[in-house]
Structure 1
Amino acid sequence: MTEPRTPAPVATDDPEYAANLRRATLASSIGSALEYFDFALYGLSTALIFNVLFFSQDNPAMATVAAFATFGVGFVARPFGGLFFGVLGDRLGRKWVLVATILLMGGASTAIGLLPTYEAIGLWAPILLVLMRLLQGFGAGAEQAGATVLMAEYAPVKRRGFFSALPFIGIQAGTLLAAIVFGLITLLPEDQLLSWGWRVPFLSSFVLILLALFIRMRLRETPTFVELEKHEQIAERPIRDIFTRGLPGVIVGIGLRMAENGGSYMFQTLGLAFFVAVAGDQADRSLLTWGVTLGSLIGIFSVPLTGHLSDRYGRRTVYRFGAVFMLLYSFPAWWLLSLGNHAVAIAVIAVGIGVAVNSMLGPQCAMLPELFGNRHRYLGVAMAREISAVLAGGLAGVLGAYIIAVSDGNWILLGVYMGTLALITTASTFLVPETLRRDLTRTDDAIKVSRNEGGADVEATTVTITAVADR
């Protein structure tokens, strides 16, 4: 099947194009803000509230491990959501899938604020919490992938890195909002915080849902998907395609995400739990959240900046900088957190999120969609993002909390853990081809499987990764 010809570029000052670009940016940003507001809020609550309210307090340390396990359950559901909605996104279009995911994800998050506690209904409390977390993760599994694909396909080619990164300010805004709200509610007396105060932020998610729905219902389908429909190239079997032809891109995408996603959740959630374990009664909950707050503030500038830099110097170069920075930062960061000093801990978390993590997130916004062909781009990005979310972000809390519990807060082991994630991502930047300004109407992937002499694709278990030179 022949490739569609590249559509003539649309001037960014064209009124209709500019209006659609604004809508796409808003639709992606608000969805990102809601997702990360919910996830950051859940992570903060996991370390300091859910372990007390939803689990037996016979063994507080293991209650914390169990609470982080429910946090990880959401990540387990995400690949299944990414698979389900990713197929729909590649067959029906990006817009309506994004409408469905925001309803599912936001509805589950709001319902968490209505759940009874362990004291009220016993074991049913953690069961219901896990169920809501599964629904939340199922919707979130395609939400961020959809936002990433949507913006990359709308953005001007020469500034794709910058424009694709703009909606991810929503990630910083959502994380920032969660940290501020959580910081405010922790100022309440403990009895009020644990009785009703923690519910308020989850219930307030409903406002973001309504706003996101209003904008997304007015959004038009992306130009590249319209082009795909025009040439009758919609994938008939996208799942088969992504796990054969698209498998190398998924594998490398997973590697690229290990440090970014794992590091983000280690600093946001595990860092707080580790500090509380080290400082004990001296730990001030409201002060600790300022690290996440400041990191998100830095990210509002560092994400679009690194996206812009990737337009000038290439995606791989900027991405590699972030991965190496985190590698060098891993051991000093956890050693400094082990000192039990609030000011130092705030600075460590802020730099970890704002610089180390977001230096990778900026170029990633355009790089992941550029890795995959037009026929299975949504599914490819979703699989790369969400499988890595299980392996990196989901395990970070559970494994990290277990390390803290059994090692009596050994910072060296946590440094090894984070350093390993950074090494995987650094190595992955040497496996991926440069995708800068790649034509997104192409149906082939930037990374292809080898072919045998007869021209057929080799089995997925024996593919080799080869860089494809861009036109």
Structure 2
Amino acid sequence: MQVNPKDVARIARAAFAGTALEWYDYFLFGTAAALVFNFLFFTELNPTAAVLASFATFGVGFAARPIGAFVFGILGDRWGRRPTLILSIVLIGVATGIIGMLPAYDQIGLAAPVLLVVLRLFQGLAVGGEWGGATTIAIEHAPPEKRARYAAMVQLGSPVGTLLSSGAFSLVLLMPEETVNSWGWRLPFLAAFPLLAVALWIRLKVEESPVFEQLAEMDDRPKVPAAAVFTKAFGRLVVAICAALLGVGGFYLMNTYVISYTTTVLDVARGDVVNATVIAALVQMVVVVVFGRVAERLGPGRVTFIGGILTALAAWPLFMMIDTGEVWAIIFAISAGIGLLTITYSVTGALLAELFPVELRYSGVSLGYNLAGALTGFLPFIATWMTCIQETPSVMPAVVLLVIVSLLTALGGFLGERLRVKDDVVITEAK
């Protein structure tokens, strides 16, 4: 199967553009949950309970992601990669824009947090299908020896989404505090509508995966591919979940939890911490590009193992720097921590795609990644709760959680490298 290199690069760029919008929408909620949702939508609670409730709402999106992965996995493996990706991007773009129009608690009472949870559920459902589909379609257009670099292009959507969401909030926080809290926070969410139009225009130009077109001619395809992942590839699914844990859960510990901890416990200015996440996003972009290429030489499993071990070793010193409350130390620690865990994240798409056969790939990749998200999405909530119940709040609970997640990811990389099927892009031709 010969594919024009220019077409491959164009498909990868389109996958990246859509994924960047998806992560912008998704990460925007995390930043808002740490900064404003606690007192806008949970007004009747005491400050600590309001922060916990805000993070619980944030975590709901992760709980919905495996459901989205299951549903969109069936659509993607049976209906097609392209139409499924278009559906997912519309769903999250509309849900995010509506959040920007949502009345606060003091306007409509209990209905405000209920609607916020519902919209977060829709975000989670959409992301559950987006990332696996974007990774799958990019890899299935690419030659086998270059899959890691094109999978890394999809991963660039995460730091770009972070950069856009943190950058948007950095601009909003330049306004007077009362303006931010009354209507300024809505602007980044409302921006999802024009961004959706641009991303949809780009994605509509994407051709269907040539591998799926061959797969569609098979008569013996699984009718429910997502269910077949559990019955035919359960061991591989467990390895995929472990390999993806750090790139998802570790990120939210170093980002969402740290934003909340530094602004509420250490009383650091909100703008300074959000600016730190912008710098970290730039670091993340460099790491993704570099290690996408490194994985072509070492293998994505080995890169995942190395990234997991390095992050585990760095967890304690980085969080100790954060606990100093010094802005320069916080910026360095967030940037270094996110940079280290991004070593694993940069190759997650390549590793997970090579763990599953073509007929189960969209479902397997989506389920592995999003089950990892469901298991770790409540880490900011857990870390915050463990911090609050201490007599003297500290970051030690976050250190322990990050080390555990890092070591599990290292194990997933170690096992995943041994389970890779390096030529499975053309598995339908062999059949």
Shorter chain as denominator, the TM-score bin is over 0.9
Note closer, same or farther for the CA distance 1:270–1:10 as it changes in structure 2 (3 Å cut).
same
Cross-structure match for 1:361? 345
AA matched with 1:129: L
**In the alignment, which of 207, 230, 237 is matched to residue 217 of structure 2?**
230
Cross-structure match for 1:208? 195
Scaled by the length of structure 1, what TM-score is found? 0.88
Cross-structure match for 2:233? 246
Shift of residue 240 of structure 1? 3.3
Deviations 1:186-210 (A, max 9, x none): 1111110011100000000112211
Note closer, same or farther for the CA distance 1:310–1:335 as it changes in structure 2 (3 Å cut).
same
Deviations 1:53-73 (A, max 9, x none): 110254101100000000001
Rounded to whole Å, the distance in 2 between the matches of 1:44 and 1:236 is 39
AA matched with 2:65: R
AA matched with 2:352: L
Rounded to whole Å, the distance in 1 between the matches of 2:3 and 2:273 is 47
Rounded to whole Å, the distance in 1 between the matches of 2:389 and 2:60 is 22
Query: 2:276–2:331: 8 Å Cα contact kept in structure 1?
Result: yes
Query: 1:81–1:137: 8 Å Cα contact kept in structure 2?
Result: yes
**In the alignment, which of 284, 287, 309 is matched to residue 299 of structure 1?**
284
Equivalenced residues, count: 427
Fraction of identical pairs, as percent: 34
SS at match of 1:243: helix
Shift of residue 443 of structure 1? 6.3
Query: 1:315–1:435: 8 Å Cα contact kept in structure 2?
Result: no
**Deviation >4 Å, runs of 4+:** none
Mapping of 1:62-461 within 5 angstroms? Answer: 62-280=49-267, 283-353=268-338, 355-392=339-376, 394-407=377-390, 408-432=392-416, 433=418, 435=420, 437-442=422-427
Query: 1:315–1:436: 8 Å Cα contact kept in structure 2?
Result: no
Note closer, same or farther for the CA distance 1:167–1:239 as it changes in structure 2 (3 Å cut).
closer
Structure 2: runs of 5 or more not aligned: none
Q: Give RMSD over aligned pairs.
A: 1.6
SS at match of 1:114: coil
Shift of residue 11 of structure 1? 5.2
Query: 1:274–1:409: 8 Å Cα contact kept in structure 2?
Result: no
Moved more, 192-201 or 295-304: 295-304
Rounded to whole Å, the distance in 2 between the matches of 1:238 and 1:39 is 26
AA matched with 2:310: F
Shift of residue 10 of structure 1? 3.5
Structure 1: runs of 5 or more not aligned: 1-6, 13-17, 445-471
Which of the pair is proportionally richer in helix? 2
Query: 1:314–1:434: 8 Å Cα contact kept in structure 2?
Result: no
AA matched with 2:406: A
Rounded to whole Å, the distance in 2 between the matches of 1:238 and 1:58 is 44
Rounded to whole Å, the distance in 2 between the matches of 1:232 and 1:154 is 23
Deviations 1:82-125 (A, max 9, x none): 10111010001100000110111111011000000011111111
Note closer, same or farther for the CA distance 1:58–1:98 as it changes in structure 2 (3 Å cut).
closer
AA matched with 2:19: S
